[in-house]
Amino acid sequence: MKNIKTFCKIMTAVFFCLSCTAKENKSEIKNPAKNEVAMKSYISVSMDEGLKMLSEEKNAVLLDVRRPDEYQAGHMPGAILFTNETMTPEKAENLIPSKNTKLFVYCRSGRRSKEASQKLADYGYTNVVEIGGIMNYSGELEK
């Protein structure tokens, strides 16, 4: 009887530990390009907070990761087009040689900017800030 109680206590502890580990893994992101699991290594903030942060940075780069036709229809002032669908490590390095450059990334709604931010982090960029979609931007646009 004593062995059964000890066994039940051990199994409860093991179950509890496994449950906690599963919850922690939810912050991991599958990286299909490398076929591995990587931790999210960029930050996401609101458009307003991102613009405030951008205004306080001297050498930051604002990246628009939409398609060229979307960019030409109107983009945030100073934004550089770097299309998410054609982004590669080589193109990133040619465009932004320093991996420590503060990067602010946006798209139309926020989905592509999250994908592009994760790619940039996977490429070794250490200061990536995802600011969501231009749909949440209320300023003037450049064409």
Q: Does 17 qualify as catalytic in the annotation?
A: no
142 to 50, 55, 70, 95: CA distances (angstroms): 19, 17, 12, 20
- The order of strands in the sheet holding 61-64 is 43-44, 127-133, 102-107, 61-64, 80-81
The residue annotated as part of the active site, out of 8, 17, 20, 107, is 107
Q: Which residues contact 77 (CB under 8 A, 6 or more apart)?
A: 139, 140, 141, 142
The residues assigned a catalytic role are: 107
